[in-house]
Structures are given as structure tokens and as C-alpha cells.
Chain A
Amino acid sequence: MNETPLWASESFWKKTAIWVTAGSFLILVVLTFDSLSQTQAGGKRVPAYSVINKKIDYVYQKDLHKSMPVIGETELLFGKEYTEAEAEQLVMLGKKTTQAKNCMNCHTLLGNGAYYAPDLTKAYLDKGWVNKEMREDMMIKFLMDPEKNARTFGSNRKMPNLDITEQEAKGVVAFLKWMSSIDTNGFPYNFKTINAED
């Protein structure tokens, strides 16, 4: 018997390849629409930009076995209450600054990027900023002159001076505050924020 069995035939696998590819892609497109609508800024997973007016924390939830962002009372950034449009403007300036300064090729954002400097996902909530009274001032000074205000934690690695203006630095801080409020399914695990009791 010289006939090729179905499982080894070219035409069977050709059809399979086409159907599998088309089917997978279709499912991906449907899930993409769903994911994008669930992650609009202003939704449950990704808060509106004006969240920068609020207190943000990241707290371990025993029942869920993971930490979740907790949005609290008013806690103004730079002592100012931003409208949604103003907040978006400021976060946008910060986001564009992080791209133009190429932050991602040393740091990670949401865990993605390079591994030469710390993750920025919850950087706004980091204990390294000592306390909430000092935090904003320290962040601005650090961003504008990272050499003089170096935070090397015993390593010799220093962030270079990237000529970040004061307005850009404020934008970056706003962007980091907003990013820290995103529901990242519990990543990073076991993160203790600046608000946590020791």
C-alpha cells in the first residue's frame, strides 16, 4: 500500500495550519477588544488619571493571597487638586519624559525593560522615600540631579543626569503615582509600601 495516510499528508496539514492560525488569531482579536475595554483609564483595573489626587496604597489581601491597590481619601500631589484633564496632561508629560529619556533601558516598568536599575511599577510607594512628607521633594530633586542626590543603596550604580526639567520631573512623579494604582494581578508580590507599619 503506497497511499499516504491522512496524518502524514501535505494537504491535511496545510488545511490544519490555516484553520489553527485563523482560529487562534480570531480568539486573540476578541480578547484584545475585551482587554482594551477593561483597561481604559477610568475603569476598575486602570484608574482615571485624577487618581493622583488620592491616597494610593498597595495592601496584601489575605482572602485573595495577593496585594491589591487601595485608593483612599484625598491626598494631593504638589499641594494641588488636578481636574481630570489637567491630571491627564501632567501624566502624559511624565510618560513622554520616561520615553524620551529612555528610562526603560535601565529600569523596568510593570516589570518590562532592562535590569540595571529598580522596577518602577510601585516606585511611588517605595519605602526608600523615607516618609510621605519628604517623598515628593526627594523625588523631584533626585530626578533633576540624580548624581548629587544619588540613591545607590551601597552599590556604585548612579543614575546619570538626564537634564530633566522641574516640570518634567513633576510629570514623571505624577505618572509614577498613577501607575502605582494599576491593578497588576498582585505583581510585585510581598511589596511593603511607605504606608505600611513595620
Chain B
Amino acid sequence: MNAKELCEGSRANYANFITWVALDRSNLSAGRQLSVNYFIVAVILFFAQLLFGMIAATQFIFPNFLYDWLDFSVNRMVHINAMIVWMLYGFIGCVYWLLEEESGTDIVGLKLGKLAFWVLTGAVTIVVLVYLLIQTGAGKDSSLWLINEGREYIEAPRWADIGIVIVMLIFFYNVVATFSKGKWSGIAGVLTLDLVALAGLYVAGMFYMTNITHEQFWWWWVIHLWVEATWEVLVGVIMAWSLMKLLGVRRQIVTTWLYIEVALMFGSGILGLGHHYFWIGTPEYWLTIGGFFSALEPIPLVAMVVHAMYDAGSHSFKNSNHPAVAWIIAQAFGNFFGAGVWGFMHTLPQINMFTHGTQWSASHGHLAFFGAYATINIAFFYLAIQHWRGDVWMNSDTANAWRWKWALGLLNAGVVGMTVALLIAGYEQSFIERAVEGSTWGGYFSAQNHPSFQSAMVWRWFFGLMTFSGLILLIWDLLTIGKGETRKAQEIVEH
């Protein structure tokens, strides 16, 4: 087959796919068409996250798998980067989705927004290709500028950092200018201030430093103040808005809750940053400050569970989009258990001394990122597809509703299973490597070679596969749900 045939073949396949999906973009406003572009890339990257996670999980069991071709470091980097980036894409998509309705006007810089989308997507593609094909460079600045920065979660090379900042500025401009042209609200105000912090913090991670204590100090400013502060508030905003739309909760109630959440979230999360400053060379007072404030971090997450459950219950769970509401409930609990309970379990320095840098963190990371951020994005994917289909009926009584229910079940059970397997591995590692053998290389490997660690890795692999199959079912469901549905969405009255 020559290149021309291949090209024509894939074009025909793509055309068939589009006909099969039968989605009509004219059901969406121009702003929401931009929003769904972000959602589409988010789902593709979600798939990549799980694929590379599976490869890395396989290497824990069979270390020779793809050795020297795609080493663990590469797979793990793509695994966590794809995650961070798909969640950011999802958040941007959510914000563009609610922006027009919330402000009561069209997005001001739509053309610029579209350009930014393509620039960002092009940059992400190049970064991933370089990760996979070039992988590492020599120990000099040019490697950090062009290949990868080698700093967990924010590995993107410096050129891409600058691109990301420019794209974020365009996004920020669109949000502020659109609210200014239309109308402001409590939700709009919190969103705008949160985006200033979110974008500003990224800059703290854009400098090279030889002093590793200083480097990790600023690195945590980005990572912690993103995922344990500004992202949580962003989710609070998205949650507040979606509870109004899906359940008809009164605006005054969600806005008041949002302010309570911001006060609790920032009140505990900003100084909770200190729990990353126990062991990196920073002064001892962080043991007290970090321990105390991070122990308070679950409180706003309890508030969010109460908020979501109370509102859903007081509206007798009557809502216009059942899969979306199911995922919002999953978010409330996933966030509380994953970020709250699992974080609290090892946040006090007396315990963290032994759990720091073990599979405990991986256990917490899996449940927290999924519970807090994957879930809310998936809820919005369902909201978007409902409108894309023409605001159709999306209750649990339809013929194919088993798909979203099974996808929900498989994804949640898979992640919980991985979390428990990794927790067992973490306990074992904390005891044997950290407490008994004093964290030497020999101690590290005694723990890794231990049967309870190795069987935990096998269990993790199977639950990973369960998660992966849940995602494939989810994608199938998102592509087909509401197809051929003629009934309009259930009407929700605000009360």
C-alpha cells in the first residue's frame, strides 16, 4: 500500500466514523464547540494515561518488558503528564462550557481561543513525541529547554512552558473579558481569582536551580498549590454551577457554599503545603505547620460531600442527566476518600517519616486524582454530549443505560482496587524498607522482592485492567449515548 492509498483509506474510515457517531455540531453554540474540542483531546489523553500506566504496571511485574525501548521512566512520565494535561484540558473545556451561560453573552475572543486550542494541542503532540522518541538528553541546558526538565509532573521542556503560559493568558483573557462584557456573579468572581492563582503558580516552576532544596521548594508551590488548593477550588466552581443546572439548586445556596469551601480549602490548603517541606532540607517549623494545616485539609472535602448530597437529596435526586449526576456523587465521595482520608492517613510527620517516598503516595495519588478530578470531568463529558445530541433525554431508563452504569462501576472499582493493592505494598515497604532496614538500597530491594509486595503489584495490574476496560466502555458510551433519542431532556425547576 502506498502513501496515497493509506491517506485515502484513513480519510474514508474517518468519514465512516463521523457518519456512525452522527453528532451535529449545530446543536452547540460557537463557544461550546470550542469547549467540546477540549473534551475530545482530554478523552484521548485519558486513554494515553491509562495505556502508559498499564505498561509501567507491567514493568513492575516483568522488568524486562520493553526494556531499553520504553523504559519505566518514560512510561511513568507519559502516564502522569497525560493525566495532568487531560485534566487541564477538561477544566478549560468546563470553563468554556459554562462561560457563556454564566455571563449571559458570547465568548469575546473566540477566534483567539480557537487558535490557542490548536497551538496547545500541537505543542502537546510534539512534547509527547519527543518524550517517546528522544527520551533523554545530555546534562546541559539545551536538554531542559528542548527535551524534558526531569521534574515530576512538570516535565514539559521550557519552550512548552512558555507556550502553556501564553495559552493560559489567552484563556484567562477570554474568561475576564466575557464576564466583563456580560455580567459578573459570585461563581465568576471565584473562578477568575482562582485562575489568576493557577496560572501564576505555574511560573514558579519554570526556573532551573542547582540547590535541590530550593528547587523542590518551588516545585511544590506548583504541584501542591495546584492540586490541593487551586484545582480543588476550580472543581468547587464547576460543581456549584453544575448542581444549579442539573438539579435546579438555588444560586444563593451554591454561592454561599462555594465561599465556605474557598475559606476552608485555602485556609487549610495554602499552609498545608508545609507537609511537603518535612524532609527536603527546609526548617523544622514546617513539621508543626505542615502537620497541623494539612490535617485540616479533609474538612472542606467533607463540606463538599454534604453540599452535593444534601442538594441532591433535597431535590429527590430529580435531575436532567443521570450519568452526570452519578459521576458528581462519585466525585464527592472520591474526593473525600482519595484526597481527604488517604491524604490524612500519612500526612502527620511522625507517620510520614516512614511512608514518604513509598507506594503509600502512589495509593493516595491514584484515588485522589481520580476521585477529585477525573470524576468531575467525566460528569461534564456527559453534560456536553447531552447537549451535543440536542438536549435529549438522558435518564437511567434508556435501553443502553447499562453501558454508563458498567463504565461507572468498572472505573470506580478498578481505581479503588488499585488503591488498596498499592496501600498494601506501601505498608509493607514502610515496615521493611523504611522502619526495619533504614532505607538503604538493600532495604529497598528486600521490600520490593517481598512476596506481599509482589502479589500487590499483580493485583494492581488486574485492577488497572479493570479500570482500562471501564474507560473503553465509557468512550463507547459517550460516542453512542442519546443517539436516536427523540425525547427532550427532563425539565428541572429551580427551587
Contacts and interface: CB of A to CB of B under 8 A. Distances in A.
B357 to A, nearest CB: 3
Interface in A120-143: 121-123, 126-128
Contacts of B354: 189
Contact of B147 (A100, A110, A162): A100
A115 interface: yes
A144 interface: no
A122 B309 CA distance: 48
A68 to B, nearest CB: 12
Interface in B369-389: none
A2 interface: no
Interface string A75-113: 000000000000010011111111111111110111111
Interface residues on A, range: 35 or more
A38 B286 CA distance: 13
A56 interface: no
A3 to B, nearest CB: 14
Given A106-B72, A183-B281, A100 B434 contact: no
A100 B287 contact: no
B487 interface: no
Chain B interface main SS type: helix
B139 A100 contact: yes
Contact of A192 (B76, B266, B440, B448): B440
Contacts of B439: 119, 121-122, 188-191
B83 to A, nearest CB: 13
A95 B212 contact: yes
Interface stretch (B148-156, B391-399, B468-476): B148-156
A191 B67 CA distance: 31
B368 to A, nearest CB: 16
Contacts of B139: 93-94, 96-101, 164, 168, 171
A71 interface: no
Interface string A19-43: 0110011011001101110111100
A153 B435 CA distance: 19
A16 B258 CA distance: 12
A99 B429 CA distance: 26
B241 interface: no
Nearest to B445: A153
Contact of A101 (B136, B216, B260, B263): B136
Contacts of B137: 100
Interface in B281-296: 281-287, 289
Interface in A1-24: 8-10, 13-14, 16-17, 20-21, 24
B271 interface: yes
A36 B152 contact: no
A21 B266 contact: yes
A104 B151 contact: yes
A128 B401 CA distance: 57
Contacts of B434: 188-190
Nearest to A45: B281
A115 B439 CA distance: 13
A112 B210 contact: no
Contacts of A116: 56, 59-60, 72-73, 76
B139 to A, nearest CB: 3
B2 to A, nearest CB: 37
Given A100-B147, A102-B148, A119-B357, A39 B281 contact: yes
A183 to B, nearest CB: 6
A190 B34 CA distance: 55
B492 interface: no
A181 B449 CA distance: 29
From B71, B149, B150, B277, residue with most partner A Cβ within 10 Å = B150
A185 B260 CA distance: 35
B259 A17 contact: yes
A8 B256 CA distance: 7
B441 A123 contact: yes
Contacts of A17: 190, 259-260, 262-263, 266
From B135, B212, B256, B449, residue with most partner A Cβ within 10 Å = B212
Interface in B165-224: 186, 190, 208, 210-214, 216-217
A165 interface: yes
Contact of A10 (B59, B186, B263, B277): B186
Given A153-B449, A160-B67, A160-B71, A187 B138 contact: no
Contact of A112 (B77, B152, B449): B152
A182 interface: yes
A118 interface: yes
Given A115-B357, A115-B358, A182 B213 contact: yes
Nearest to B283: A38
A184 B138 contact: no
Contacts of B149: 99
A10 B357 CA distance: 42
B438 A91 contact: no
A45 B213 contact: yes
A24 B271 contact: yes
13 contacts: A16-B263, A17-B190, A40-B211, A111-B356, A112-B357, A114-B73, A114-B76, A119-B439, A155-B63, A157-B63, A162-B136, A183-B281, A187-B353
Which are the 7 A-B pairs with shortest beta-carbon distances? A97-B139, A99-B150, A153-B445, A188-B439, A111-B357, A13-B259, A190-B438
Given A13-B260, A115-B358, 17 more contacts: A16-B259, A21-B266, A21-B267, A28-B273, A34-B283, A35-B283, A97-B138, A105-B72, A110-B280, A114-B73, A115-B362, A116-B76, A118-B444, A154-B449, A155-B449, A191-B440, A192-B440
